[in-house]
A and B are shown apart, each in its own frame.
Chain A
Amino acid sequence: MFPSINPRIGYTVTILALAAGAFVLPSWAVFLLNLSLSRGLVVLGLLVIWRAGLMSFGQALYYCLGGYTVGLVGRYLGWSDAFLLVALGTLASVAVAVPLGFIISRYREIFFAMLSMAFSMILYGVLVKSEFLGSTDGFNVVPPTFLGWAPEGDRLVQAGFLLTLAVSVIAGIGVRAYLHSTSGHLATALRDNEVRVEYLGISAQAVIHAKYTLSAALAGVGGALSALFIGHIDPEMAYWTTSGEFVFITILGGPGSIAAPFVGATLFQTVRTYAFQYSPYTWQMVLGAMLLLLILFLPDGIWSLVQRKKGRS
């Protein structure tokens, strides 16, 4: 929206404003932002594979794995350090994505999307049948601590948000560097012509496998952070509608920038919150109408508004 401003300065100002917001905004707003960024991280992962022409309708698998890892480690080992739990949640997602990636990287288009959804629904099924994990009710996650510091109430909300913000900034910078690397540029190349990629001496499957694993790691981070700061997990995290929301946000934000997933997630979360509040029985219709309008009028997502403005100046 500010075409004359150097994007680096724009990002820095936004990040600082968000960090300051943690101390100024009401608790519910900070919580909402935290949730938005956590989901933005998942969508950032989807962006990575979307650029290669692939879309996962089962990203909730890794979102849920990240969340349940946090919950289970807290419950059975009693560990509560947020940094450690988030790291473990990410690792768990990667540990599952690497073997599954060998299968899924052989597929493209709708087959890729459906297979990824199938895997997430298997996890959902297992969790629903696991009564010792609370079945469909799930269970509460231990309150997080930060290197020994155990905040409560508003302080916890603030600390949680700052952690998520920090993780988002690091992930954003990392993914941005990745997208500009040879491997990142290869996304478009893969979408255009896999034959040529193979004849350049590279396994298209291996590149997709790597991208898939990266996207799973980001979904794991997002799931771990959500679980920690919502304080509760249930199998719904792995359900296909959760994946659908991530896809929704990906389209909402657009493929244009690493900021788009976070902007899209915040907008989505806000619209959903208000839609739910004002029309509790038809809020899904509001979201549906929003998606329809978006596809019709802003097929490249809301971030394309920013780019359009840039292009004009």
Chain B
Amino acid sequence: MALLEAKGLHKRFGSVVAANGFDVAVNDHEVVGIIGANGAGKTTFVNMVTGYVTPDAGRILYAGRDITDLSPRKVTRIGISRSFQIPQVFLTLSALDNLLIAIGIARGELLRPWRPLRRPELLAEAQARLDRYRIGEYSQQKAVLLPQGVRKLLDIAMAVVNQPRLLLLDEPTSGVSVEEKFGIMDTVMAALKEQQVTVLFVEHDMEIIQRYGQRVLAFYDGGIIADGPPERVLADEQVQKLVTGEVLHKAHPSHGGGAHA
């Protein structure tokens, strides 16, 4: 059985079709990249899976259970987490406190309001998690002062505190410098592999898709126009024409055309 299954997902925002009734299934332990131009429906798909947006029609199944109408927090509780294109962290708190809060919640500490959050064992866990994402040195800095790449990692580190089975990363490297991109992805993917998380990640950078995706979904106009291993999807003529633009494929200089703009 697939871990995540979407059947006939439909979503319109006014005259824009963000999901045209596509089907897709993701298996356990897959690492799936999602590509597509702006407005193709990538983030809407992530938002529908995580309960932020309800589809107009169609069902979403997670481990066989219908989660179409669940709220974000219920979706989170059953094991689906997400990170955000713009990191959603607690800006006035330190990186360590950001993680501490996530850990406190994951451990059910909200129902024990007499127990302090800053206990040695929780502090140690928070620091260890920061270290695993290679941002341990920033633990005492307020999130608002962190570089974008660090904030992205913090956002992801917080998202996986509750040991999700499925993680959706919305553009994990957007807004990050070219030099940092691979470092960030290496760190994230290594940590996620350790935790055995199934990953769906939205990405615009085809080099990243090629290096980290085992499988790629190409979105166009609210539908999935290609689904398969990265080599095959990125070589697909339709995908090249509608999604990636020929310029990225230097292997095919004949397609150069006017795409340099």
Contacts and interface: CB of A to CB of B under 8 A. Distances in A.
* Max count, chain B CB within 10 A of own CB: residue among A183, A186, A189, A200: A200
Nearest to B72: A198
Contacts of A186: 101, 105, 110
A202 B74 CA distance: 8
Contacts of B162: 200-201
A199 interface: yes
Contacts of A200: 73, 76, 101-102, 105-106, 158, 161-162
Interface residues of A, number: 23
B89 to A, nearest CB: 6
Nearest to B78: A201
How big is the B interface, by class? 35 or more
Interface string B94-134: 00010011101110011011111110000000000000000
B139 to A, nearest CB: 16
Given A188-B92, A189-B101, A196 B158 contact: yes
B159 interface: yes
A277 interface: no
Interface string A193-207: 101101111110001
Contacts of B109: 181-183
B54 interface: no
B50 interface: yes
A180 interface: yes
Contact of B116 (A177, A195, A196, A203): A177
B180 to A, nearest CB: 23
Contacts of B113: 177-178, 181-184
Interface string B148-166: 0000000000110110000
A196 B161 CA distance: 13
B65 interface: no
A217 to B, nearest CB: 13
Nearest to B92: A192
A191 B112 CA distance: 21
A185 interface: yes
B73 A180 contact: no
A199 B117 contact: no
Interface in B203-256: none
23 contacts: A177-B116, A178-B114, A181-B109, A181-B112, A182-B104, A182-B117, A183-B110, A184-B117, A185-B117, A186-B101, A189-B93, A189-B101, A192-B89, A193-B90, A195-B84, A196-B158, A198-B73, A199-B50, A199-B72, A199-B159, A200-B158, A201-B77, A202-B110
Question: Which 6 residue pairs of A and B lie closest in terms of their CB atoms, listed nearest first?
Answer: A182-B104, A182-B109, A201-B76, A192-B90, A196-B88, A180-B116
Interface of A: 177-178, 180-186, 188-189, 191-193, 195-196, 198-203, 207
